[in-house]
Amino acid sequence: MLRVDGLSAWYGEAQALREVSMRVDEGEIVTLVGRNGAGKTTLLRCLMGLHGTYGRTMGTISVSGVDVTGLPPHARARRGLGYVPDDRGIYATLSVEENLMLAPVVKSGGGPEPWPLERVYETFPHLRERRRSPGTTLSGGEQQMLVLARVLRTGARLLLCDEPTEGLSPLFVQRIGEILREVREAGTTVLLVEQNVHFAASVADRHYLLAEGRIVESLDRDQVREREHQLLEYLGI
Amino acid sequence: MLQQAFNGLVGGSFYALLALGLAVIFGMLGVVNLAHGAFYMLGAFGAFIALDAFGLNFWVALVLVPLLLGVAGAVLERLFVRRLTPLDPLYNFLFTFGLALILQDLVRREYGVNSQPYPRPPELAGTVDLGLFTYPAYQVFVLAVSALMCVAVWVVLTRTRVGMIVRAATERPELTRALGIDVGRWVTPVFGFGIALAAFAGVLAAPMRAVNPLMGADLIITVFAVVVIGGLGSVFGSVAAGFAVGLVSALGNLYVPALSQITVFILMAAVLLWRPAGLFGREEAYR
Ligand SMILES: Nc1ncnc2c1ncn2[C@@H]1O[C@H](COP(=O)(O)OP(=O)(O)OP(=O)(O)O)[C@@H](O)[C@H]1O
Ligand SMILES: [Mg+2]
């Protein structure tokens, strides 16, 4: 599904990613864990084609066997990448419903079914109640639901989620876990940046550990369970 | 007094139309278009040339001139502005400023500095009885058509998919791209549209303002103050501030004529002290 080869990225002279190579197979949930500043957000932004405004990149990225390295962000989105940014990215000048409808549905079939608006509202009734209000008037948890719903509505094949559980109450964290498992069943692939190791271990099939811009380890679910304490210590939580 | 207020609103129409174009362009491109006044001037000259050289009347000019200049604006965006936007904003600042000077001087070389006469359209030559006073029909028309234009733009921005995309791209251009929207494709028509609005205001101005190469430069300073008062990039704010500034300066003119030239700037200073982001501006900086 996703294949990254020798990806490096710089902010001016400072190198933030060092020859990262990784892959995510179809239907997998893979997390990317690492300390603050390890380069997780940078990696997702590179995958989305958003690093260009900050500095240079090198290496190749391919999605479903197609090299997307040279493609602009909107073309990547149209090929099925669904981006959930770390700051959520709700538009204050758009209503809840407009926030949902802004992103166009992914073209060419083969992927998971796009969620019709009706299904979004059935799954998240609160969004229906607030559909005419500005997106940013929702609570933090509801905003995160909105952002997830936004990419599901497009029928994105590979979700790139940057710390979706950050700052949320356990109830919402649990809800996000349910949604991720549900969309995986429907054929969606997920690359999840996560500091919450416990949550990561509960949803993901595999994990990459990123440190100072390098992938230092690749772990499966059981390894993470065994080493949860060690990982937590390493992450400084 | 009422009549003066009405004068103010008519004057404010021009501010509102120009500020609206500036705001849309700034919002979508992050470019402060210093050539905006020059396109207003070209609009007025376009009307003059259309009549003088081609015998095309006001009504034809009102449609044709903004259309042509809008296309010219779109071409300009494609050829120059687009290349400069990734660089320091100063480049587009200098580019549009230089362009304004070039356009002004080209017109001046051809037509000199004297004002060119432009007749009112005969259909609007008379006066209208507004109950409390009578008023030139043309001025009433200007006010009505400008207000209508502003409302139309508002409706497009708030009620259509195009408007939604423009708002989204104004707020978070990068994110909007990441969500699958080719923002770059919308930038050119938006720039052209902003220029067309300036040209539209220019054609409207031709029958009631002196048509000369400097008419845009004189007006645009005030329009920048209007945009700042309304809140940079705020579409609603710039329109409201346009009419408000017209009103305030007309009334200021009536009560304290000595200050007539600077009422706008006093207003701007007061608003900025009170709300640094302008009346309808958002506090955070644009990304
Ligand atoms: N805009 C920027 N300009 C310069 N350096 C940056 C910028 N953004 C990030 N960096 C640097 O790049 C490195 C990686 O940052 P990144 O945001 O990708 O880390 P992260 O793993 O997402 O961290 P966090 O857990 O805090 O979100 C850090 O050293 C950071 O200081
Ligand atoms: Mg981050």
Residue B183: list chain A partners with CB under 8 A: 74
A-interface mutation test, from B159, B179, B183, B235, most A Cβ less than 10 A away: B179
Q: What is the pLDDT of residue A220?
A: 86
What is the per-residue pLDDT across B28-55, written as a single tens digit (0 to 9) for each?
Answer: 888 889 999 999 999 999 999 999 999 9
CA–CA dist A97, A135 (Å, integer): 8
Ligand 1 centroid – CA A33 distance (Å): 14
Percent of chain B with pLDDT strictly greater than 70: 98
Chain B residue whose CA is closest to A45 = B178
Number of domain units in chain A: 1
Nearest CA, atom 25, ligand 1: A36
Contact of A24 with A2, CB cutoff 8 Å: yes
Whether the CB of A77 is below 8 Å from some CB of chain B: the reply is yes
Split at pLDDT 50, 70, 90, the class of B282 is low
What is the per-residue pLDDT across A221-235, written as a single tens digit (0 to 9) for each?
Answer: 888 778 877 777 777
Who contacts B147 (Cβ-Cβ below 8 Å, separation ≥6)? Answer: B13
Q: What is the pLDDT of residue A195?
A: 87
CA–CA dist B129, B136 (Å, integer): 9
Packing angle, helices B161-171 and B183-205, rounded to 10: 100
Top mean-pLDDT range of B124-128, B229-233, B259-263, B280-284: B124-128
Closest-CA distance of chain B to residue A224, Å:
32
Ligand 1 pocket mutation, candidates A13, A31, A42, criterion most atoms within 8 A of CB: A42
Identify whether B106 is part of a domain.
yes
ipTM: 0.91
Identify whether B122 is part of a domain.
no
Q: CA of A4: how far to CAs of A34, A184, A200, in Å?
A: 18, 21, 21
Closest-CA distance of chain A to residue B144, Å:
28
Specify the higher pLDDT residue, A74 or A110: A74
Mean pLDDT of B196-225: 92
Q: What is the dihedral of CA B34, B36, B38, B41, to 10 degrees?
A: -150
For residues B202-228, one letter each, b for 16 or more C-beta atoms within 10 angstroms of the residue's C-beta and e for the rest, the string is bbbbbbebebbbebbbebbebbbbbbb
Q: What is the pLDDT of residue A237?
A: 59
Mean pLDDT of A185-210: 91
Whether the CB of A6 is below 8 Å from some CB of chain B: the reply is no
The whole-chain average pLDDT of chain B stands at 89
E-strand ranges in chain A read: 2-11, 14-24, 29-33, 57-63, 66-67, 81-84, 158-162, 189-193, 206-211, 214-220
A-interface mutation test, from B175, B181, B186, B284, most A Cβ less than 10 A away: B175
Identify whether B121 is part of a domain.
no
Ligand 2 centroid – CA B180 distance (Å): 22
Who contacts A38 (Cβ-Cβ below 8 Å, separation ≥6)? Answer: A210, A211, A212, A213
Q: Which range marks the domain in which residue A51 is found?
A: 2-235
Q: What is the pLDDT of residue B286?
A: 34
Number of domain units in chain B: 1
Instruction: Verify whether the Cβ–Cβ distance A93 to B167 is below 8 Å.
Output: yes
What is the per-residue pLDDT across A22-60, written as a single tens digit (0 to 9) for each?
Answer: 999 999 999 999 989 999 999 999 999 999 888 999 999
Identify whether B124 is part of a domain.
no
The residue type of B211 is: V
Residue A92: list chain B partners with CB under 8 A: 171, 282
Mean pLDDT of B257-270: 81
Closest-CA distance of chain B to residue A223, Å:
34
Residues 32-71 of A with CB under 8 A from B: 48-50, 53
Residue B171: list chain A partners with CB under 8 A: 91-94
Whether the CB of B180 is below 8 Å from some CB of chain A: the reply is yes
Using the predicted structure, report yes or no on whether residue B285 has a pLDDT greater than 50.
no
At B185, list the tokens. 């494709």
Residue B93's CATH number: 1.10.3470
Whether the CB of A107 is below 8 Å from some CB of chain B: the reply is no
Q: What is the pLDDT of residue A108?
A: 66
Residue A165's CATH number: 3.40.50.300
Using the predicted structure, report yes or no on whether residue B287 has a pLDDT greater than 60.
no
Q: Which of B164, B177, B282 sits opposite A73 (nearest CB)?
A: B177
Mean pLDDT of B56-78: 96
Chain B residue whose CA is closest to A77 = B180
What is the per-residue pLDDT across A146-188, written as a single tens digit (0 to 9) for each?
Answer: 999 999 999 999 999 999 999 899 999 999 999 999 999 989 9
Using the predicted structure, report yes or no on whether residue B135 has a pLDDT greater than 80.
yes
Q: Which range marks the domain in which residue B80 is found?
A: 2-113+136-286
Tell me the three-class secondary structure of chain B, residue by residue: CHHHHHHHHHHHHHHHHHHHHHHHHHHHHCCCCCCHHHHHHHHHHHHHHHHHHHCCCHHHHHHHHHHHHHHHHHHHHHHHHHHHCCCCHHHHHHHHHHHHHHHHHHHHHHHCCCCECCCCCHHHCCEEECCCCEEEHHHHHHHHHHHHHHHHHHHHHHHCHHHHHHHHHHHCHHHHHHCCCCHHHHHHHHHHHHHHHHHHHHHHHCCCCCECCCHHHHHHHHHHHHHHHHCCCCHHHHHHHHHHHHHHHHHHHHHCHHHCCCHHHHHHHHHHHHCCCCCCCCCCCCC
Q: Which of A50, A93, A154 sits opposite B180 (nearest CB)?
A: A154
Instruction: Verify whether the Cβ–Cβ distance B181 to A106 is below 8 Å.
Output: no
Q: What is the pLDDT of residue B284?
A: 43
Whether the CB of B108 is below 8 Å from some CB of chain A: the reply is no
CA–CA dist B174, B168 (Å, integer): 10
What is the per-residue pLDDT across B246-262, written as a single tens digit (0 to 9) for each?
Answer: 998 888 888 887 777 78
Using the predicted structure, report yes or no on whether residue B82 has a pLDDT greater than 90.
no
Residues framing ligand 1 (Cβ under 6 A): A 11, 14, 16, 34, 36-42, 54, 86
Who contacts B125 (Cβ-Cβ below 8 Å, separation ≥6)? Answer: B137, B138
